[in-house]
Amino acid sequence: MKKITLHHSLESLPDSLPDSCLRSFESVNHEADFFTSFAWLNNLWTHSLSEEHDLYLYEIAQEGKVQLLLPLCSRKSGSRWGMPRKLCAAANYYTSLVRLMTYPPLADSQQNMQQLVASILSETPRWDSLDLHPMDRDSAQFIEMKQACQHAGMAVQEYFCFGNWYLPVNGRTFAEYLDGLPSRLKNTLKKKRRQLEKSLALEICLFDGLAGLEQAIADYELVYRSSWKSAEASPLFIAGLMRTCAQLGHLRLGIAYLEGRPVAAQLWIVSQDVASIYKLAYDEAYANLSVGSILTAYLMEQVIDVDHVAEVDYMTGDDAYKQDWMSHRRERWGLLAFNLRTVYGLSGACWHIGRQQLNVFFSTIRRVLGNAFH
């Protein structure tokens, strides 16, 4: 008999969860990647989500062994009377990909998801909708979760989140990879590096552990404040992420210094043969020197020739510069499911899905009329 347990706190995990559940987090960290680990979830929740959200961590176990963990959350403002009750993935703008935590991987996954969705819909007060994003639309988890929601009688809508550029290394060395880059980028790297080494003292430092990390975090934050980027919505998250990754051996923090001043910084995370380019920034006063591109090339050489990763992932967004460095594109999508047994769920389905169908209808009419006049 499978048992579903709902947890509302991460701080009490060692005391409140069975050992099998904690081991499952560790197993996920080992078998999958850092972004589906307890370490990632703990930092995200502690430094970004917890202030405005309530946690709903669902655990499915059989005979004391965890088979699935699904971290969800709900906005505290959504608990007010008269407001729609929406349950979402424990994710936000810091999250590039949402995946369920399964242990062992994919064990009875379809049955587990159906049981989980049914359990969520049976709670009182009732949930009006379930929103999971960003996900891999082609993954078994996305497909099975969609089917589980439909099996439970929910109305389901898929929606596009963002593009994701990535590079399959395919066993190449960095020199072979560099040779395949656009000529414009290769010439810029060669020219600017030679220029910097002649006129200014250029030094690039790599931080992959706890040694020197606190000063490196301060240097990163100085670069970030001097860049074009807006202030972090959750100021403690990135520093916490760096410390967490350093402790686990995932950190690749590169900082470029000109005459001792930090002018460019990039946070990369290496886990399970994938190097994820998580954050980058450079001082706008040095934009014409292409220090950011030089630092990217340095870290590319590190992850390809030293870490021997199989893939480099530029994560979130279709920024034009990413296409110079990456070779492939995929998409991340969301899954929005409405509970048709509640007023807000039914009205949400009519508004979102009904509006989508109307848009398709009018697009078809416009296309037919347009063809008629050509």
Residues 44 and 122 in one domain: yes
Identify whether residues 157 and 37 lie together within a single domain.
yes
What's residue 297's pLDDT? 96
Q: According to the model, what pLDDT value does residue 24 have?
A: 46
CA distance 91 to 333: 13
How many domains is the chain built from?
2
Q: Do residues 155 and 352 lie in contact, with contact meaning Cβ atoms separated by under 8 Å?
A: no
In a domain, 324, yes or no: no
pLDDT tens string 272-331: 899 999 999 999 999 999 999 999 999 999 999 999 999 999 999 999 999 999 999 999
Residues 85 and 228 in one domain: no
Question: Mean pLDDT over residues 107-116, rounded?
Answer: 82
Q: Are residues 12 and 146 in the same domain?
A: yes
pLDDT at 211: 96
Distances (CA, A) of 310 to 105, 206, 270, 331, 363: 21, 20, 11, 19, 42
pTM, rounded to two decimals: 0.88
Q: Are residues 16 and 146 located together in one domain of the fold?
A: yes
Asked whether residue 353 is domain-assigned, the answer is yes
Mean pLDDT of the chain: 87
Count of residues for the chain?
374
Q: Provide CB contacts within 8 A for 251, sequence distance 6+.
A: 207, 208, 209, 213, 242, 245, 267, 269
Are both 128 and 37 inside the same structural domain? yes
The whole-angstrom separation of Cα 186 and Cα 219 is 28
Q: What is the domain-level CATH number for residue 121?
A: 3.40.630.30
Between CA 275 and CA 259 the distance in angstroms is 29
Per the domain annotation, does 80 fall within a domain? yes
HEC secondary structure over the chain:
CEEEEEECCCCCHHHHCCHHHHHHHHHHHHHCCHHHCHHHHHHHHHHHHCCCEEEEEEEEEECCEEEEEEEEEEEHHHHCCCCCCEEEECCCCCCCCCCCEECCCCCCHHHHHHHHHHHHHHCCCCCCEEEEEEEECCCHHHHHHHHHHHHCCCEEEEEEEEEEEEEECCCCCHHHHHHCCCHHHHHHHHHHHHHHHHHCCEEEEEECCCCCHHHHHHHHHHHHHCCCCCCCCCCCHHHHHHHHHHHHCCEEEEEEEECCEEEEEEEEEEECCEEEEEEEEECHHHHHHCHHHHHHHHHHHHHHHHCCCCEEECCCECCCCHHHHCCEEEEEEEEEEECCCCHHHHHHHHHHHHHHHHHHHHHHHHHHHHHHCC
**Does position 360 have pLDDT exceeding 60, yes or no?**
no
pLDDT for the residue 32: 53
Q: What's the confidence (pLDDT) of residue 176?
A: 97
178 and 280 assigned to the same domain: yes
| Judgement on whether residues 20 and 100 belong to the same structural domain of the protein | yes
Range with lowest mean pLDDT among 25-29, 146-150, 199-203: 25-29
Same domain? For 11 and 146 the reply is yes
In a domain, residue 314? The reply is no
Query: Exposed, middle or buried by CB within 10 Å (0-12, 13-18, 19+), for 194?
Result: exposed
Same domain, 149 and 11: yes
Whether the per-residue pLDDT at 356 is higher than 80: the answer is: no
pLDDT in tens, 208-240: 999 999 999 999 999 999 999 999 999 999 999
Which pLDDT does position 261 carry in this prediction? 94
Same domain (yes/no): 299, 181? yes
316 falls within a domain: no
Buried b / exposed e across 301-340, counting CB within 10 Å, b at 16+?
ebbbeeeebebbbbbbeeeeebeebbeeeeebbbbbbbbe
Please tell me the least confidently modeled range out of 47-51, 67-71, 157-161, 194-198.
194-198
Res. 72: pLDDT tops 60: yes
- 319, part of any domain: no
Cα–Cα distance measured from residue 239 to residue 214, given in angstroms and rounded to the nearest whole number: 9
- For residue 304, the Cα-to-chain-centroid distance in whole angstroms is 22
Mean pLDDT across the stretch 12-24?
49
CA distance from start to end of the chain: 65
185 and 115 within one domain? no
Measure the CA–CA gap between 1 and 79, rounded to whole angstroms. 32
Bridge partner residues of 6 (DSSP)? 58
Last residue of some domain: 260, 275, 309? 309
Rounded CA separation 188/325 (Å): 13
**Burial class (CB within 10 angstroms; exposed 0-12, middle 13-18, buried 19+) of 63:** exposed
| Residues spanned by the domain of 303 | 170-309
Residue pair 64/17 in contact by the 8 Å Cβ criterion: no
